[in-house]
Amino acid sequence: MEKLEMKSIKHIIVVASGKGGVGKSTVSANLAIALSRKNLKVGLVDADIYGPSIPAMFGLGMLSPEMAMEDGKNKMKPFEKYGIKLMSIGFLVPEERAVIWRGPMASNAVKQLFTETIWGELDYLVIDFPPGTGDVQITTIQDLKIDGAIIVTTPQIISVNDARKSAEMLTNEALSVPFLGVVENMSWFTPLNHPEEKYFLFGKGGGQIIADEFYTSLLTKLPLVQEVGEMADNGKNLFMDNSNPMQDLFDKLAEDVMNKIDNK
């Protein structure tokens, strides 16, 4: 199938999940920032048409993109914050309004986020997929040359079962996206005042199950940290707090992703 030309973008990565609420957008946003901290040019597309969260996570919830000419066409200028170029349906539809679109219309809207945005030169474009295995995911994979996919899950068996379906979609021979690995989020909870304690609220080993079944890597295990959610709600990111232990985990995740892309 003929792919869309994205000549100015070197690598495209998708971050997917089987179900919502597992921290997929948090992983997408902080992975993008971690990549940009390595002197790379990075873009982030929020492809979650029905529940976009990237605008709020970057503190840009009520803004609309400016327009400019490129190659004789009127296109959108992405927002830039924390070194990332950003585009989302959330910039185009009021946040209080529900997006009531059937699959083909949603897929076409996401396609426009890629083709009608002035991205410029990028080393990496990270795509924050909606949860599940719907039209948006399938159309995007068919339209773009995807260099790799990451699945986000919690250790909970219900989340693992849904993550398995996303992994099967990505690795299906009709789509055949390189599976970079699994991120297990909310692996444990450690109280701020008791850093030596770990509480496995959602069980153990879920991310490793998916990694083993699909012959890929468990890229990282991320703890449940209250401050990370609070910072996202306030349009901040974990790299703004030098004492946040999650920084090292995301820096390592970015390094592993880069290595896998370079060696695939």
CATH number of 9-263: 3.40.50.300
Strand order in the sheet with 218-224: 79-81, 84-88, 42-46, 122-128, 9-16, 148-153, 179-189, 218-224
Q: Is 126 helix (H, G, I), strand (E, B) or coil?
A: strand
Chain-centroid distance, C-alpha 89: 15
CA–CA separation, 212 vs 164, rounded Å? 11
Q: What are phi and psi of 227, to 5 degrees?
A: -65, -30
DSSP assignment, residue 199?
B
* Angle (deg, nearest 10), helices 226-233 and 24-36: 80
Answer for the pair 180, 146: CB distance below 8 angstroms, yes or no. Answer: no
Read off the tokens for 94. Answer: 């009021």
225-240 pLDDT, tens digit per residue, is 877 888 888 888 888 8
Length of the chain: 264
Amino acid, single-letter form, for residue 128? D
Q: Are strands 67-70 and 73-76 parallel, antiparallel or unpaired?
A: antiparallel
CA–CA separation, 81 vs 59, rounded Å? 9
Please tell me the pTM assigned to this model: 0.94
Reduced DSSP (H G I as helix, E B as strand, rest coil) percent helix, strand, coil of the chain, to 5: 35, 25, 40
Tens of pLDDT along the chain (264 residues) come to: 678 889 999 999 999 999 999 999 999 999 999 999 999 999 999 999 888 999 999 999 778 999 999 989 999 999 999 999 999 999 988 676 777 778 888 889 999 999 999 999 999 999 999 999 999 999 999 999 999 999 999 999 999 999 999 999 999 999 999 999 999 999 999 887 787 889 999 999 999 999 999 999 999 999 998 778 888 888 888 888 777 778 999 999 999 999 999 987
Element (H, E) at 143: helix 135-143
